[in-house]
Amino acid sequence: MPNATPKGQLAAAILAVSGLILVSLVAFVPLATSNLESRPHALRSYDSAFAAAVRQQQSDDSVAAPSGRSIVLGHGHATARSMVLLHGFTNSPHQFDSLADVFYREGDNVYVPRLPNHAERGSSPAALARLTAEALRDAADRAVDIGRGLGDSVIVVGLSGGGTMAVWIAQNRRDVRRAVIVAPLMSVSHVPQALEAPAVGVALRFPDITHADPRDARQPDRELGWSTHGVGQILRLGLAARRASVVTPPATHDIRILLNANDRTISRSAVLALGRRWLQHGASVDVFELADSLGLPHDVIDPRQPVRRIDVVYPVVRALADGEVPSTRFVMSIPWGRP
């Protein structure tokens, strides 16, 4: 092949520089998060809250796969506390079904909403590209609104993408008694801190990239795969909470964070940095970590996982929801001086 001409080399150089400029503009233009503030409309009675949860189930039934609808477990009256459980990205309320039963048997009313664009019949991970941070904000607000009517005190537990929603709730909702945040997706593992916000910009502003694993007929409620746009919108909701936390104390004053030492999905440092800011604002923030020796995946809740230790994890989550320190050798408290 003949050598490129000087003009061809110049054109290639101009294209390369233009591409770098374009990527820089896309990545470093700040993302809008000012419209992601809470819009609460708390329900004040058990009957109105339970009816709202049932209406959500009826709406789910028009689109949701089998076992993908929202879960509501009520004792027929408001209880001392209500549990709001928020499932993870690509999963469904069924992820929390077993843990919901544990809390219900202990006397709590429980609500596990189906998150937007999740567990739809016959869909693929590409459907998650339609997810927006605004829809997640509304779902988080609505979940707490319903929880307010189901119990005198609201305890929120969220995992992964639902953990990000629990972070946003902790920052914004003062009518939540306690937030238990499990492996929240605040940043993706191995992304340097300086590039966390630009990485979200790239995920949202470039064409969506979707990965789909083969569907499992035994789990029609799960989207086995991911969407960069969907992940980007979850991170954008988390970014809204992180920005607000710089100047504003969390509205929820009792916050428990549970990490997993074997987790290779989320950025541990991003979660701890947020926790430190909350602590500096005067909130009660405790962080615990499941031992690496358990070999657990990112999803530590779903009993359908090939590797699971619900005999360890569920008592830990229950203790954190109760405001207690877990008593097991498989979990340790993380000192705030540790990076």
Task: Examine the pLDDT at 16 and tell me if it is beyond 60.
Answer: no
> At the topology level of CATH, where does 31-333 sit?
Rossmann fold (3.40.50)
pLDDT value of residue 13: 52
User: What is the mean predicted confidence (pLDDT) over 170-183?
Assistant: 98
Question: Whole-angstrom Cα distance, residue 141 to residue 337?
Answer: 33
Which residues, in sequence order, are bridge partners of residue 85?
A: 157
Task: Examine the pLDDT at 189 and tell me if it is beyond 90.
Answer: no
* Burial tier of 80 (Cβ tally within 10 Å: 0-12, 13-18, 19+): exposed
Do the Cβ atoms of 239 and 33 come closer than 8 Å? yes
Task: Examine the pLDDT at 36 and tell me if it is beyond 60.
Answer: yes
pLDDT value of residue 7: 52
Cβ contacts of 253 within 8 Å, gap of 6 or more: 282, 283, 284
| Global confidence as pTM | 0.91
Task: Examine the pLDDT at 295 and tell me if it is beyond 90.
Answer: yes
Beta strands in the chain (DSSP E): 71-73, 79-86, 109-112, 151-159, 178-182, 210-212, 225-227, 254-260, 284-290, 331-333
pLDDT value of residue 6: 60
pLDDT value of residue 71: 98
For the chain, what is the largest distance between any 2 Cα atoms, rounded to a whole number of angstroms? 82
161 CB neighbour count, 10 Å cutoff: 29
Mean pLDDT for the chain? 90
Q: Tell me: the pLDDT tens digits for 46-78?
A: 999 999 999 999 999 999 998 999 999 999 999
> Nearest-CA neighbor of 36 among 156, 200, 205, 169?
169
Least confidently predicted of 73-77, 109-113, 176-180, 226-230 = 226-230
> Nearest-CA neighbor of 110 among 86, 91, 88?
86
Q: Tell me: the pLDDT tens digits for 212-255?
A: 888 777 888 888 888 999 999 999 999 999 999 999 999 999 99
Question: Whole-angstrom Cα distance, residue 116 to residue 123?
Answer: 13
Structure tokens at 95: 């992820």
Domain boundaries, the chain: 31-333
